[in-house]
Amino acid sequence: MTDLLLVAGLSLAAAVAVMTATAAWAARVGRVAVVDVAWGVALVLVALVCAVVAGSWQSWLLLGLVAVWGGRLSSHVHTRGRGHGEDPRYEKVLGGTLDRVGMGVAVRKVFVVQGAAVWLVSLPLQAAAVAGLAWSWALWAGVAVWVVGVVFETVGDAQLASYRRDPDRGPVMDRGLWAWTRHPNYFGDACVWWGIWLAGGVASGWLAGLVSALSPIAMTVWLVWVTGARLLEQSMMQRPGYPEYAARTSMFVPLPPRR
């Protein structure tokens, strides 16, 4: 019980520290969307805390997986958002711009929620730190699923960047992975955390796997219905050609294009 409380408390403290710093950053630049950069950083810090406390090779491996994913994600989001204004998704969540609603609203509606989400999503890391490795087959199965997720994210982002550089591009990106799913990056993100759940939660025994299953479930719900695909689609549907693209392309899980 002592180990459980220690790991849970330190993980929560790490999430709070990152979100506090990010709130200060948001107040300085006037953009709540910087929290997307901090998301990966916060989970890497929690993974580091869990690895240091546990000292097991399983937790250090999980730190490596989270660091690769989180470092790539934070760097990509930071580069993509440089020079841009507020993300319309966050304006919708806040009910207006940060200048208009104030930092109090932003802290309550974004930073507290994101900090709690970081702690919840990190449950497989905490489970591995407390329980230790029980089933090695689940760990390596999780690494395989993680690889699928990282490939989807990396290839999907590269294909989108290539499309944006093409002067002859059509009105909608529907090439490569984007012909099979409208959100390959979100699908890849979900796969990454289902893989980490297998490698951290399930690999640590049935009880650890059961308790930490909230992590990939919450991540998937978040990506599809909360701040991810569904919210983004509300604005994307206003673009010429996007409704037709949506009619033939799966929203989340990759499937052959419909005729």
- 164: number of Cβ within 10 Å: 9
pTM: 0.90
- CA-to-CA distance for 154 and 177, rounded, in angstroms? 11
Q: What mean pLDDT, rounded, does the chain reach?
A: 91
Residue 259 pLDDT: 75
Residue 76 pLDDT: 83
- pLDDT tens by residue, 197-255: 999 999 999 999 999 999 999 999 988 887 778 878 888 888 888 999 999 999 999 99
Which DSSP string corresponds to 162-194? HHHH-TT--SS--SGGGGTBS-HHHHHHHHHHH
Residue 67 pLDDT: 97
Q: Is 250 helix (H, G, I), strand (E, B) or coil?
A: strand
- CA-to-CA distance for 89 and 159, rounded, in angstroms? 23
Residue 116 pLDDT: 94
DSSP class of residue 239 equals: S
Q: ∠ at Cα 112 (109, 113), nearest 5°?
A: 65
Contact assessment for residue 163 and residue 81, using Cβ atoms and an 8 Å cutoff: no
Residue 29 pLDDT: 87
Listed as ranges, residues in the chain with pLDDT below 70 are 1-2, 83
